């Protein structure tokens, strides 16, 4: 049975602030074992798509960087380039990614450590990991910058996800540690049954110039698998690599349908890829997981918007086991009531006990049990966990901005400045009628 350390999201003091709680969980889980003097420690983080606003704030990263450095480690903040996914990209190259995340507030100055796009300029800097234990993937490609780190902490914003159904620790490392060719692999590019190239294609449904997306569709596929002719729209299956740039266009307009069970198989592949990431870094003793179950949007930080959370904040979690920590978060969400006027209400998932992510995260009601079940089958972790509630730190001192009391810091400054208070004091009315302003 895995141990999952937990703290709620309520705060009433500096030692119960969410930043302090994250660091308290770091200590409770024993993550100092991940850091030896001089070790390069990768902080694996999703820094948000262009115009997404639900991603974790940079302050959490900065605090974790300072913690790792205090233990003698050399931290870096890492993520990888993406597939196109959408017709208009913002993180497909390292150049695009760095521009986007700087706009989102992530720079070396704000984080206190370098931002490293770990799979190189276009995502082909990777190492191959054999995966004979994989549920569907038998090999995977992990970003070199992550594979060569001495250890890794997956700092995860726990939320929904359109393909994985939920985005937790397994998705953070399963998708986020994979290079571009690794993402093509986990999205089943070229798979003989589940790959996008096997999808149903109905060109007779194409409205051609009358479609509002027609001009976009003309330049949709980066490898030329979609071709517009005078009379039809052709799909060259042999060229398709499964980059998903077209998924939001030709699928939505009804020209194409994804293969049966595509999303289910992709959920399994995400978990396989997570195991490959763990193997690449050096094994389970080299990776720790912190899930921040806050601002739980129905979809991931990889989309370019953020909807209202589907459930209230669930709290903060830490564990050495990615299957257990995600299982605990999924269970907490299921036990929670849905958020009023959110997608949970629109989809009838307001009652405690209703699967929130199968209902709200998935397009098609795909089971939120796939990732944890596959993770247990392939040996990534266990679904059996003990939830250990951690008390806030008793001493607020480590979380203070300054440990010098204000009297000592400012007494001599105020005295030296001399005119903090104007001579004779400020001008006030002696009495006012507050009853007049208390009523509506």
The model's pLDDT over 118-150, given as tens digits with 9 standing for 90+, comes to 999 999 999 999 999 999 999 999 999 999 999
384 and 245 in one domain?
A: no
Q: Cα separations (Å) of 88 from 246, 258, 363?
A: 10, 21, 21
Residue 91 pLDDT level (bands cut at 50, 70, 90) = very high
CATH number for the domain that contains residue 318: 3.40.50.11440
The average confidence (pLDDT) of the chain is 96
Confirm whether 117 is domain-assigned. Answer: yes
pTM for the full predicted model? 0.95
* pLDDT at position 86 over 90: no
Confirm whether 394 is domain-assigned. Answer: no
* pLDDT at position 63 over 90: yes
104 and 30 in one domain?
A: yes
Last residue of a domain, one of 257, 276, 293: 257
| For residues 375-391, average pLDDT | 98
Residue 159 pLDDT level (bands cut at 50, 70, 90) = very high
* pLDDT at position 76 over 90: yes
pLDDT value, residue 416: 92
* pLDDT at position 2 over 90: yes
249 and 273 in one domain?
A: no
Residue 111 pLDDT level (bands cut at 50, 70, 90) = very high
Q: What is the 3-state secondary structure (H, E, C) of the chain?
A: CEEEEEECCCCCCHHHCHHHHHHHHHHHHCHHHHCCCCCEEEEECCCCCCCCCCCCCHHHHHHHHHHHHHCCCEEEEEECCCCCCCCCCCCCCHHHHHHHHHHCCCCHHHHCCCEEECCCCCCCCEEEEECCCCCCCCEEEEEHHHHCCCEEEEEEECEEECCCEEECHHHHHHCCCECHHHHHHHCCCCCCCCCHHHCEECHHHCCHHHCCCHHHHHCCCCCCCEEECCCCEEECCCCCCCCCCCCCCCCCCCCEECCCCHHHHHHHHHHHHHHHHHHHHCCHHHEEEEEEECCCCCCCCCCCCCCCCCCCCCEEEEECCHHHHHHHHHHHHHHCCCCCCCHHHHCCCCCCCCCHHHHHCCCCCCCCCHHHHHHHHCCCCCCCEEEEECCCCCCCHHHCCCCCCHHHHHHHHHHHHCCCCCCCCCCCCCCCCCHHHHCC
352 and 240 in one domain?
A: no
Give 174-221 pLDDT, tens digit per residue: 999 999 999 999 999 999 999 999 999 999 999 999 999 999 999 999
* pLDDT at position 307 over 90: yes
Last residue of a domain, one of 257, 275, 300: 257
Tell me how far apart the alpha carbons of residues 298 and 359 are, in angstroms, rounded to a whole number: 9
* pLDDT at position 273 over 90: yes
Confirm whether 194 is domain-assigned. Answer: no
Confirm whether 236 is domain-assigned. Answer: yes
CATH number for the domain that contains residue 235: 3.30.70
321 and 206 in one domain?
A: no
Residue 87 pLDDT level (bands cut at 50, 70, 90) = confident
240 and 357 in one domain?
A: no
432 and 297 in one domain?
A: no
Let me know: does 119 contact 177? Beta carbons within 8 Å. Answer: no
431 and 348 in one domain?
A: no
Last residue of a domain, one of 209, 228, 257: 257
Specify the number of domains making up the chain: 3
pLDDT value, residue 251: 87
234 and 152 in one domain?
A: no
Give 6-60 pLDDT, tens digit per residue: 999 999 999 999 999 999 999 999 999 999 999 999 999 999 999 999 999 999 9
415 and 356 in one domain?
A: no
Confirm whether 222 is domain-assigned. Answer: yes
* pLDDT at position 252 over 90: no
Percentage of residues of the chain with pLDDT beyond 70: 100
282 and 216 in one domain?
A: no
DSSP 426: -
Let me know: does 244 contact 83? Beta carbons within 8 Å. Answer: yes
* pLDDT at position 440 over 90: no
Range of the domain at 411: 402-438
| For residues 223-228, average pLDDT | 95
Confirm whether 397 is domain-assigned. Answer: no
pLDDT value, residue 62: 98
346 and 228 in one domain?
A: no
pLDDT value, residue 173: 98
Task: Please provide the size of the chain in residues.
Answer: 440
* pLDDT at position 88 over 90: no
């Amino acid at each position: 049975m895995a141990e999952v350390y937990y703290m709620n999201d309520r705060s009433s003091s500096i030692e119960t602030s969410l930043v302090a709680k994250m660091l308290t969980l770091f200590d409770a889980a024993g993550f100092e074992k991940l850091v030896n003097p001089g070790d390069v420690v990768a902080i694996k983080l999703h820094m948000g798509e262009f115009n997404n606003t639900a991603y974790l704030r940079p302050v959490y990263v900065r605090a974790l960087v300072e913690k790792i450095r205090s233990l003698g480690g050399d931290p870096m903040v890492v993520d990888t380039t993406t597939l196109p996914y959408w017709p208009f990209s913002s993180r497909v190259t390292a150049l695009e990614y760095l521009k986007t995340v700087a706009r989102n507030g992530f720079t070396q100055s704000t984080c206190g450590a370098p931002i490293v796009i770990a799979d190189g300029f276009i995502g082909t800097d990777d190492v191959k990991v054999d995966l004979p234990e994989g549920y569907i993937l038998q090999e995977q490609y992990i970003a070199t910058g992550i594979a060569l780190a001495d250890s890794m902490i997956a700092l995860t914003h726990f939320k929904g996800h359109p393909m994985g159904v939920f985005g937790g620790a397994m998705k953070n490392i399963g998708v986020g540690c994979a290079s571009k060719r690794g993402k093509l692999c986990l999205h089943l590019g070229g798979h003989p049954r589940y790959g996008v190239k096997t999808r149903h294609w109905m060109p007779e449904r194409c409205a051609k110039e009358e479609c509002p997306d027609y001009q976009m569709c003309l330049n949709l596929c980066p490898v030329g698998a979609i071709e517009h002719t005078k009379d039809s729209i052709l799909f060259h299956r042999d060229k398709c690599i499964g980059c998903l740039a077209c998924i939001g266009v030709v699928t939505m307009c009804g020209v194409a349908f994804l293969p049966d069970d595509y999303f289910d198989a992709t959920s399994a592949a995400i978990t396989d890829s997570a195991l490959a990431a763990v193997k690449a870094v050096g094994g389970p003793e080299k990776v720790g997981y912190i899930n921040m179950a806050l601002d739980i949007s129905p979809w991931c930080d990889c989309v370019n918007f953020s909807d209202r959370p589907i459930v209230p904040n669930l709290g903060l979690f830490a564990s050495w086991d990615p299957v257990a920590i995600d299982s605990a978060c999924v269970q907490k969400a299921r036990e929670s009531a849905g958020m009023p006027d959110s997608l949970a209400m629109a989809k009838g998932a307001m009652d405690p006990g209703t699967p929130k992510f199968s209902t709200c995260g998935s397009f098609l009601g795909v089971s939120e049990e796939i990732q944890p079940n596959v993770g247990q089958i392939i040996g990534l972790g266990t679904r059996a966990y003990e939830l250990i509630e951690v008390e806030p730190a008793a001493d607020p001192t480590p979380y203070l901005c300054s440990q010098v009391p204000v009297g000592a810091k400012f007494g001599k400054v105020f005295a030296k400045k001399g005119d903090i208070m104007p001579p004779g004091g400020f001008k006030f009315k002696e009495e006012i009628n507050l009853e007049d302003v208390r009523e509506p």
